[in-house]
Structure 1
């Protein structure tokens, strides 16, 4: 069993109280229903009192829209189904679970995870999970639907609290969403929005995809260190002290020769599958190669990475299941998928109501008004450049508690903040990086983040008492540590005059 130092007793007690208070909230489904009702009433009140804000870049006056109006009521009725089916966390989770369920019920996951847990250094397990989570952002949502539940199983196999695995993975995947060793889709999306915003005051200027590259590489290692330290010194000790059940190391040896042979076949299939994907990207006319020479070459592959992961897990699971003797009938793999889908019943109910609330918030326009008011308050501070960037980081982190989508929020905020700060002598790449820090740091503590409910559902598989308060208390130490550490690094980076990227 790993040696984990005890965290500060006062901090542990405070987090326990936060969890208790958070879990006194109604069931997450009821909470989203109540929040939706409150939002409907708030939108009507703001509309009746004519709360508005003027967009500083375009001069357009933005107003909130009442969900209690005829237009709002018809919109809610006509879009209830679409809000749910188009909600980002729904489709990828269902697809991924179908493939992973085959790998799980065939026994493949148990074999692989037990070997991984047995061979992995306990000292660096948290760091490996956080680091992998950070890198997973290159594959869009794959980290949320694949790595987070697997991290729980890896920690459990190593005799450590599975919720600590979930926390470490969530910290890397979501808290470290704006860091990586490679440029990915998020860099392209944000740079495009930044360029459009910058054109309002500098029509010939451009923010390149690579303009934050040096800084996000350094950020990857900073987040790995912070996430692993918080996990080992604060989160895991608290989880151990709060449970009366001793943790057992579930790493059974694979003694069955059939299972060993099946694993070898899975390993061979894995190499062949990876080689096929690489060839489909690398070949000049590859099916998964981006025809746009100026864009990311592997974009089609990354865009559909959840499908490829599910397909790999399904085929590998069937291969292992039939060769090991776990599967004996032709329909066993179908039954495995059905069992996996059965576990999503509570999750799908939660996602329906979460989708309504998130879309109500977006349609009402309340977030836009709040963002502009925040921008005006920030401009009035008249701070030095570095201090202004720090204030912008904190403003972004606060706004992120209300608007979850990184790209949608930046599309709203960039036309406001990029020209404003550019006129104060701060280049657009620095503003964009400050935004990414604030956005990522508070992702893991806001229930409005689309995958927050997903992670709660993953937690409940290991602790049925877990709720929104449990996850917020679990992730708050990471959020505070990332916000402070990452902001300090940006401040020192800017004071030293180091370039954020090759652009």
Structure 2
């Protein structure tokens, strides 16, 4: 026991040091303003030096473009607005937030969780959160918004630390993003990129399809769910308890009181002005009636969606009549999540009485937007920075240089695969878009490893490990800033360092266990998916 206590103390000190260092970083808006200017200076210097890179598979060189040139400044003045409005997470976050806010403020989420928990054992909750989070990539980026707060509510209802559920939910979603028990749009995206670079190979191997990594993904999702549950249960939650981290969300009472005096909020039921916090297991009769109405509404919406997409001539299918690799159905993920939250939330609200008038609905949605005002402001700067990073081609130059460096080492065999995963993990700190990074890395490493005798589908499976494990600790991940807003509801003084210190206990175990799964497939020669082995 003494040894375990000493180990926990050392771990706490290390994570506390990381938190202190991270929290010394400037305000996120100013941080990314500084990074924006830094990339602008570096890109300008590289352009003056005539820097360009050739992406394998492309016949033309890609030149680095500088911000502080005539072309660069013209680009900025023309695209300042589009860079902000076109910031990818903004569409997903704001749209889904409108529906999730209604589901939260009406009490639907709290009531559903309280009703479903029943006699579920407390010890199982961390592993359930891990499994749901790891497999939530089927919801695409919406998982970053939906899973963490739900996990916090589940933990709260079971008498466990809600912040542990919040942290575990985000870590499971982010660090395990590239895997799932189900085939997702990401599988289709990756397979299309892989096939695009195998055409000129003497032996292109098995055609890569959306199911080419299915066996590997299924095994990985089970292992990662167990690892996530163990880390939440044995590392994260005990540390939160030792620190005395708050278990109740901090409500901006002064702001709520001020809002209550405005004409806009006069007709909003008082219960809607703050997220429900009563998670006692006993449901009121009105809540039970609301849950039944919500369940019926959810079922009807699901039937309508299935009936719309199943017919052969459905406009939600692609030109070939399928859903993969691309289709309107896959592009409708945000709408589906929005509808499946909003419809049941409205049914619950009006039946249970938490919504009184139709006019309450937009007012409640507005409360959610108020909660995210800080992120929307930050999104302006994030959008400028990411747009510059892409337009200047600094990201492409960084990825190609890193890939060329590993290729020049001349590693062969499995150590080369490990080196490839390590490189992907490092680059993932700078380029969190999996499709962008795989486009760049796949063009180099798929042909390289094919010449060494590896199936392109296996190389793609190895890439998935590096593409996800480290993205929960990089400021380049836009959803980490959304998560920071969630954490601040419990810890108002939290900063980026707080988030990183909470995420670090997941990164190394996820990385090691995921590599271990890949190693088992490699050593046994088992297929990573239907018809896709390890060796050509």
Does TM-score exceed 0.5, indicating one fold?
yes
Instruction: Find the aligned partners of 1:101 and 1:5 in 2 and give their Cα distance.
Output: 41
Task: Give the deviation of 1:220 after TM superposition.
Answer: 0.7
Matches within 5 A, 1:116-131: 116-131=116-131
Secondary structure of 2:240's match? helix
Instruction: Find the aligned partners of 1:57 and 1:259 in 2 and give their Cα distance.
Output: 59
Is residue 120 of structure 2 the alignment partner of residue 92 of structure 1? no
The one of 359, 363, 370 aligned to 1:342: 370
The one of 462, 469, 483 aligned to 2:490: 462
Task: Give the deviation of 1:232 after TM superposition.
Answer: 1.4
Pick closer, same or farther for the CA change 1:246–1:426 going to 2, 3 Å.
closer
Matches within 5 A, 1:55-94: 55-58=55-58, 60-94=60-94
Moved more, 203-212 or 183-192: 203-212
Instruction: Find the aligned partners of 2:5 and 2:287 in 1 and give their Cα distance.
Output: 38
- The answer for the alignment partner of 2:256 in structure 1 is none
Task: Give the deviation of 1:81 after TM superposition.
Answer: 1.2
- The answer for the alignment partner of 1:171 in structure 2 is 171
- The answer for the alignment partner of 1:150 in structure 2 is 150
- The answer for the alignment partner of 2:141 in structure 1 is 141
Is residue 289 of structure 2 the alignment partner of residue 261 of structure 1? yes
- The answer for the alignment partner of 2:102 in structure 1 is 102
Instruction: Find the aligned partners of 1:294 and 1:278 in 2 and give their Cα distance.
Output: 14
Matches within 5 A, 1:409-424: 409-424=437-452
Matches within 5 A, 1:473-484: 473-484=501-512
Pick closer, same or farther for the CA change 1:452–1:294 going to 2, 3 Å.
same
Secondary structure of 1:141's match? helix
Matches within 5 A, 1:355-370: 355-370=383-398
Moved more, 26-35 or 114-123: 114-123
Instruction: Find the aligned partners of 1:164 and 1:221 in 2 and give their Cα distance.
Output: 20
Moved more, 51-60 or 420-429: 51-60
Pick closer, same or farther for the CA change 1:58–1:280 going to 2, 3 Å.
closer
Task: Give the deviation of 1:405 after TM superposition.
Answer: 0.5
Instruction: Find the aligned partners of 1:147 and 1:5 in 2 and give their Cα distance.
Output: 32
Secondary structure of 2:492's match? coil
- The answer for the alignment partner of 1:405 in structure 2 is 433
Q: Deviations over 1:112-142 (max 9, x none)?
A: 2333455432212121112112222122222
Secondary structure of 1:380's match? helix
Instruction: Find the aligned partners of 1:340 and 1:294 in 2 and give their Cα distance.
Output: 37
- The answer for the alignment partner of 1:180 in structure 2 is 180
Task: Give the deviation of 1:163 after TM superposition.
Answer: 2.8
Moved more, 399-408 or 376-385: 376-385
Q: Is contact 2:309–2:315 with CA below 8 Å preserved after alignment?
A: yes
Q: Is contact 1:378–1:392 with CA below 8 Å preserved after alignment?
A: yes
Task: Give the deviation of 1:390 after TM superposition.
Answer: 0.6
Task: Give the deviation of 1:7 after TM superposition.
Answer: 6.9
Moved more, 314-323 or 357-366: 314-323
Is residue 228 of structure 2 the alignment partner of residue 227 of structure 1? yes
Task: Give the deviation of 1:204 after TM superposition.
Answer: 6.2
Instruction: Find the aligned partners of 2:153 and 2:190 in 1 and give their Cα distance.
Output: 34
Secondary structure of 2:329's match? helix
The one of 343, 354, 359 aligned to 1:315: 343
- The answer for the alignment partner of 2:29 in structure 1 is 29
Q: Is contact 2:298–2:343 with CA below 8 Å preserved after alignment?
A: no
- The answer for the alignment partner of 2:404 in structure 1 is 376
Pick closer, same or farther for the CA change 1:490–1:337 going to 2, 3 Å.
same
Instruction: Find the aligned partners of 1:396 and 1:244 in 2 and give their Cα distance.
Output: 34
Instruction: Find the aligned partners of 1:109 and 1:309 in 2 and give their Cα distance.
Output: 14
Q: Deviations over 1:232-291 (max 9, x none)?
A: 112222222222646799532445322222222222222222222222233334454455
Pick closer, same or farther for the CA change 1:469–1:93 going to 2, 3 Å.
same
TM-score (norm 1): 0.93
Instruction: Find the aligned partners of 1:303 and 1:328 in 2 and give their Cα distance.
Output: 34
Q: Is contact 1:111–1:254 with CA below 8 Å preserved after alignment?
A: no
TM-score (norm 2): 0.87
Secondary structure of 2:88's match? coil
Pick closer, same or farther for the CA change 1:297–1:287 going to 2, 3 Å.
farther
- The answer for the alignment partner of 2:254 in structure 1 is none
Is residue 526 of structure 2 the alignment partner of residue 491 of structure 1? no
Is residue 239 of structure 2 the alignment partner of residue 211 of structure 1? no
Pick closer, same or farther for the CA change 1:7–1:266 going to 2, 3 Å.
farther
Pick closer, same or farther for the CA change 1:246–1:221 going to 2, 3 Å.
closer
Listed as ranges, the gaps of 5+ residues in structure 1 are none
Pick closer, same or farther for the CA change 1:7–1:142 going to 2, 3 Å.
farther
Pick closer, same or farther for the CA change 1:204–1:384 going to 2, 3 Å.
closer
Q: Is contact 1:5–1:233 with CA below 8 Å preserved after alignment?
A: no
Task: Give the deviation of 1:187 after TM superposition.
Answer: 0.9
Q: Deviations over 1:441-464 (max 9, x none)?
A: 111111112322222222222222
Is residue 16 of structure 2 the alignment partner of residue 16 of structure 1? yes
Moved more, 351-360 or 263-272: 263-272
- The answer for the alignment partner of 1:236 in structure 2 is 237
Task: Give the deviation of 1:96 after TM superposition.
Answer: 0.9
The one of 306, 325, 334 aligned to 2:334: 306
Task: Give the deviation of 1:188 after TM superposition.
Answer: 0.9
Q: Is contact 1:127–1:225 with CA below 8 Å preserved after alignment?
A: yes
Is residue 393 of structure 2 the alignment partner of residue 392 of structure 1? no
Is residue 353 of structure 2 the alignment partner of residue 325 of structure 1? yes
Q: Deviations over 1:174-224 (max 9, x none)?
A: 211121112121111111111111113248653222221111110110110
Instruction: Find the aligned partners of 2:483 and 2:435 in 1 and give their Cα distance.
Output: 21
Q: Count the aligned residue pairs.
A: 500
Task: Give the deviation of 1:229 after TM superposition.
Answer: 1.2
Q: Deviations over 1:34-84 (max 9, x none)?
A: 111111112122223344444455464443221111111111221121111
Secondary structure of 1:198's match? coil
